[in-house]
Amino acid sequence: MPPTPTIQPAFNCASLVPDRLKAPVAGAPLPPADADAGQVWGFADAQTGRLDMANGHTSDVVDIVTKCEAAKAEAQTALKPKRKWWWPF
């Protein structure tokens, strides 16, 4: 039986992740030392938004890589040689 051809170079899953998802998400700028309650509340809201953005990047990257690996497994299965007849031995 001939060896199954490899398709590793064709499926570089990391290359499918856009650069914007690879870059770290910076935190919100800190409020001044003499900030009032509204400014602190605004900082907390902005920081929560940044955390949501970072968590979104993580889930997007996991989704991209998972779909790429599934496509890679499907392609490898499709490339496996198929028996042309059934032999009972």
Which tens digit of pLDDT belongs to each residue from 11-40?
Answer: 788 888 999 998 999 999 999 999 999 999
This prediction has a pTM of: 0.64
Tokens 């650069």 belong to residue: 19
Q: Which residues of 9-29 are buried (b: 16+ CB within 10 A; e: fewer)?
A: eeeeeeeeeeeeeeeeeeeee
Please say whether the beta carbons of 50 and 28 come within 8 A.
yes
pLDDT value of position 87: 65
Q: In angstroms, rounded to a whole number, what is the distance separating the alpha carbons of residues 19 and 66?
A: 18
Read off the tokens for 58. 């993580």
pLDDT value of position 80: 77
Could you tell me the pLDDT band of residue 48, with boundaries at 50, 70 and 90? very high
* Percent of residues, the chain, with pLDDT higher than 70: 80
